Amino acid sequence: MTQLSSSIVAAVSLGLGLALLVVLVRGFRNELKKVPGPWHTLFTDLALKISIITGRRMYYVDSLYKKYGPYVRIAPHEVAVNDPAGFAQIHKIPGFDKSEWYTGLTGLPRQMVFSMTDSKMHAARRRLFARPFSRTFLLQHWHDTIRDMTKFAVHRIHGEAVSAAPSTIAVDVMKWWTFMSTDISGRLMYGHSFGNLETGQATLKLMMMNGKVNGAVNEFPFLKVVGRVLRYLPIPAVQEILCLNEILIEQGRSLLGSVRASDSNSNIFSNIAAEAEKGERTGLDEEDVLIEASGVIIAASDTTAITLTYLVWAVLSRPLLQKALEDEVDRLPDDFGDADLEKLPLLRAVIDETLRLYGAAPGGLPRSVPADGALMHGYFFPGGTTVTTQAWSLHRDPELFPNPLEFSPSRWLNDEVSPAAKKIYHPFGAGARSCLGVNFASMMLRLATAEFFRKCKGAQLASSTTDESMTPENYFLIAPKSHKCEIVLPQAQAQA
């Protein structure tokens, strides 16, 4: 080995040694060392990051709760909280601000209402969505459109199931629910459906994969460089994954002129665009409008489809429950609307229980401790510490929900859910940062569920749909490991 080579090796070794020393010193001086947790979390967040990119974060954190208790250190500057009192403190109004983690999750060039960390900025932006996402506005302007599109989606599911009669064919309901929610979101935001239901093909085929990619890049920023290189590969699927946000923004840009020319006040995009016209008073410009519209479409599409997918699986796995739900919705008038559905106790209970066990975003909700710190459960958390709660664990707390792993809509029917349990039930987020599209999502869930169990009476799970295939992966949102949920219709129903 030459003298130069020896010098390089010595310099590298010295650098690595100093870096390791810094990590060790910081770990031993870590102000969170009194919080229970694996020893290595004093020094590194690598185990947490690996659980994130492998789709197992919520399981990893839940296992740590079982071992260490309701407050557990999961990274050098992050603590997971599975305590109702801590949950209330973190998510009260005003509560702790979102952590910087959200900024990188969307992959968008600017912050949007979902990712804004500053509570005042978020409140101002959220007010722009208040009217177009209110239940009153949706009922007045969009109820019939949503109802008709949910009916069409179920018609397509039924049609595919009977297309090979008298034999049976397995139909992936997750595919059709994703087509439906994407098309409806497009109609509400742009006044323009993506045409997925009509063609039976996904216009934006890899929307969920885009979320996985953004999540991985958020955890390992060096992947941004890799992504910039991969964009130049002449492979359509790769380009769609890496450029989905730009595709949506450009689609919105092409529609912006026609939206303004239509002088319509029913389109959500036009409502926000009108606010942008006010300029400095709102702090909103055209690019912000396009980004917000893109974000809503991405958020609404996967979340609603995932919830409906797990609802169908859970109900079809329980024939007695399925029959009871079919009988309840069968008594509806042919021209039923959302107001009729709100009066159906079993339908409501089935949706509530699905959201408890399989809400689309049950993983971590990271928040940043205020600058002056916070005291929780006898532990002091310095300002800037990340504290995270997850519905996956809180919704499975046996002290709040007896027999927590059992899918039991009766707990909602028989008033078995305590006030304490209702306070931590948060399938749409919590506090001031709860989902702004909750009215929109709830309407879609009710209308689609009712129509499915009326039109597809007697549906059964296909042999390909098992507990194993439906095991949730967790890439911020959850999804079945198989990425599908197939059903079949009995021949008698198929020929009806």
Could you identify the residue written with the tokens 């016209």?
Answer: 277
- Paired sense of beta strands 171-172 and 472-475, if any: unpaired
Helix (H, G, I), strand (E, B) or coil at 43: coil
Could you identify the residue written with the tokens 């997971």?
Answer: 80
Answer yes or no: is 243 a known binding residue: no
d(CA 42, CA 37): 8
Lookup: tokens for 255: 């529609």
d(CA 38, CA 216): 23
Lookup: tokens for 111: 């912050």
DSSP annotation of 317 reads T
Query: CA of 111: how far to CAs of 52, 284, 292, 295, in Å?
Result: 22, 12, 9, 10
The type of residue at 202 is A
Phi and psi at residue 17, in whole multiples of 5°?
Answer: -65, -45
d(CA 282, CA 52): 36
Lookup: tokens for 162: 């009977």
- Paired sense of beta strands 97-98 and 374-376, if any: unpaired
Helix (H, G, I), strand (E, B) or coil at 379: strand
Lookup: tokens for 227: 């992504």
The type of residue at 167 is S
Could you identify the residue written with the tokens 């063609």?
Answer: 199
Lookup: tokens for 10: 């010595």
Lookup: tokens for 316: 């079809």
Contact 471, 219 (CB under 8 A): no
Q: Enumerate the known binding-site residues.
A: 435
Q: Enumerate the known binding-site residues for heme.
A: 435
